[in-house]
Amino acid sequence: MANISCTGITKSYGAHPVIDGLDLTVADHEFVVFLGPSGCGKSTMLRMIAGLEEVTAGRITIGGTDVTDLHPGARGVAMVFQSYALYPHMTVADNITFGLRRLGVPKDEVARRLRDVAAMLGLDALLDRKPKNMSGGQQQRVAMARAMIKTPKVFLFDEPLSNLDAKLREKLRTEIRKMHNALKTTTIFVTHDQLEAMTIADRIVLMRAGAIEQQGTPDEIFDRPATRFVADFIGSPTMNFRMGIIRNGVAEAGSIRIPLPPGRFAVAEGQEVELGLRPARMGLVAGDAPGAIHGRVVLIENMGAEGQVIAEVNGAEMSFVTKEFRRLAPGDAVSFALSPDHLHIFDRASGRSLLNKDA
Amino acid sequence: MVSLILRNLARVTLAFLVLIALTPILWTTLGAFKRLRDIVTPVPKLFFSPTLENFATILGSPTIRDGLVNSVIVVAVAVGLGAVLGIPAAHTLARHARRWGDDAQFFVLSLRFMPPVAIAIPFIVIYLDLGIYDSLGGLILVYLVTTISTVIWLAVPAFERVPREIEEAAAMEGCREAEVFWRFSLPIAAPSLFGALVFTFVLVWNELLLALTLAAQNATLPVVAASITSLGKEVPWGVINAATVVLVLPPLVFIGLLMGLINSMVRAGGPKKG
Ligand SMILES: Nc1ncnc2c1ncn2[C@@H]1O[C@H](COP(=O)(O)OP(=O)(O)O)[C@@H](O)[C@H]1O
Ligand SMILES: [Mg+2]
């Protein structure tokens, strides 16, 4: 078990840097998720920590040892790939134990550890099978067992669930988190799925175009996005954005008027801003309630326990989520409002959040 | 119902085509066991008293026996060396120099565009100068060009089909490049490499022109077989048939052996040792 520290990591393919001077530390026992849109450099970053890609500049240490120039096998890390990457010419048992056997670990020790991980991941019945005759979920379990059996200092996962169907994805996600709670091995997990990141992470590192856009706990990322990009990327349904202006301590956007708690935002009178309203932080209100937004229902999406209501407000669509969606029908007039303290305000030019740090 | 008829029709057609393709070979094989008078009858004979005379003639004739031995030596060394040098080179090309891979492949293909005579004649001159004209070593050398390039040409795509993540997973377990190659890339690509080797083998086993021009005393089997057919009117058909069988047999044996090797390689599941 170990902490990880990356300083000034740069990676270029040719002249164009894919990662540019990235600094990151991961504490011992921490479960960190690299999140970001496809192509932002998550895999590249992970693969540099694994040793599968060379860094162009910068240092990586694991558990206090500088591993920047070490072979992947000498770093004490284990990796699980999106494509499972099982050895097709070996049985499941041989796949899992290859690394230990290669190191010359005694036979009975190998057998004991194989029994342990197989039991943990429910693979007992599959040990003599070849990978190609197994389902994706089973194959990924084997890959996880192969990573676990070596009791590495660090686990690296590169989109391990992306090839699985939704239900299995949820199940394995839970298992991975449970496994981490039991083993406490420092883990970096890469995904482009914000829900996966929110549910599994101790800390999310949200990346954009090779740089860290924001890092923090899932709650911080969700409720205090540092930029419009983060606010837009996190949360489903996605946040509503409206161009607005600050007048007399009220954020105005068309007919929308949202009073600002004093001191919460670093805004000036008359400043042109962009407002962010999270659908999940809104609800139905009486028509004369303060801060009420009035619109006309366009569409209702039933999600079971809740429904997403898409309403037309000032000629543009705005969505919110409510449990009472069954009372509404397309064409109805509707009034809804943001819960207090859940407004986001972004600078139009830089996209940075104007929320005060201590607010 | 219609699909069933169609499927059966397809089977019958296939069987018919296979029969057409195999008939000359079967007929040749039969002919190899016939006496000359059974072959040159106006009515083809299916039933006859078989004889091993033709094979005795073949294997008794020093020219043919030497031709067989020469062929086996030349082809075995050329294909063997071609595989030993070409397969690792193909792996490296596939993994580290993909952008050169296409050029290399086209170069190899372009070797095939050239009429063999165009290579043969300069080679005669060079070989005479070097003093390796009419030597097995010289033949092996010129065949190596063919075998190495063909092996590379066919093995690069075979290695490209081995998922890179598998090699990376092996590297994560501590394997260095050579170990990754031996224990993972090679066994996983083996079934495709098998085809490459068989193709290469057949290519040089059947090679006539270079063997004809670059060797005189040390003739290979195709050269000898070709010379038998130009014996004039008194064509020893039975002997020719037997020679053909002898010519075809080694590739079959070779394919069988290679197939067994690969099956055992794949089934053993890599390393068994601790
Ligand atoms: N071998 C490579 N050669 C050139 N560009 C690459 C290579 N690998 C990745 N890239 C580029 O680096 C960027 C980041 O890739 P990657 O780390 O795979 O993104 P992510 O995993 O976040 O989707 C992408 O723009 C990709 O095109
Ligand atoms: Mg990726």
Residue A104: predicted pLDDT? 94
B172 touches chain A (CB under 8 A): yes
Look at residues B240, B230, B271, B258 and name the one whose alpha carbon lies nearest to residue B76.
B258
The model's pTM is 0.85
Among A200, A231, A262, identify where a domain stops. Answer: A231
Look at residues A140, A312, A352, A102 and name the one whose alpha carbon lies nearest to residue A230.
A352
Interval between CA A147 and ligand 1 midpoint (Å): 24
Residue B154 has φ and ψ, to the nearest 5°, of: -90, -20
Structural domains of chain A, count: 2
Residue B217: predicted pLDDT? 83
Range of the domain at A328: 239-347
Contact B193, B158 (CB under 8 A): yes
pLDDT band for position B123 (cuts 50, 70, 90): confident
Give CA–CA dist A202/A237, Å, rounded: 23
Range of the domain at B222: 62-269
- The sign of the CA dihedral A248, A253, A255, A257 is negative
- ipTM of model: 0.90
pLDDT band for position B231 (cuts 50, 70, 90): low
Residue B117: inside a domain, yes or no?
Answer: yes
Residues in chain B: 274
Same domain, A70 and A151: yes
Interval between CA A38 and ligand 1 midpoint (Å): 9
For B151-193, the pLDDT digits (tens) are 988 898 899 999 999 999 999 999 999 999 999 999 999 988 9
Same domain, A221 and A244: no
Among A174, A204, A231, identify where a domain stops. Answer: A231
Look at residues A224, A231, A189, A188 and name the one whose alpha carbon lies nearest to residue A208.
A231
For the cut 50, the answer to whether the pLDDT of residue B270 exceeds it is no
For the cut 70, the answer to whether the pLDDT of residue A164 exceeds it is yes
Among A231, A263, A282, identify where a domain stops. Answer: A231
A156-181 burial, b for 16+ CB within 10 Å, e for fewer? bbbbbbebbeeebbeebbeebbebbe
Same domain, A92 and A222: yes
At B240, which helix (H) or strand (E)?
helix B237-268
CATH of the domain at A340: 2.40.50.140
pLDDT band for position B249 (cuts 50, 70, 90): confident
Residue A316: predicted pLDDT? 94
Going by alpha carbons, the residue nearest to atom 21 of ligand 1 is A43
Give CA–CA dist B71/A102, Å, rounded: 42
Give CA–CA dist B128/B143, Å, rounded: 17
Atom of ligand 1 nearest to the CA of A13: 4
CATH of the domain at A100: 3.40.50.300
Take residue B33 and report the two structure tokens written for it: 């066991």
Same domain, A169 and A248: no
CATH of the domain at B103: 1.10.3720.10
Residue A1: predicted pLDDT? 58
Does the Cβ of A40 fall within 6 Å of ligand 1?
A: yes
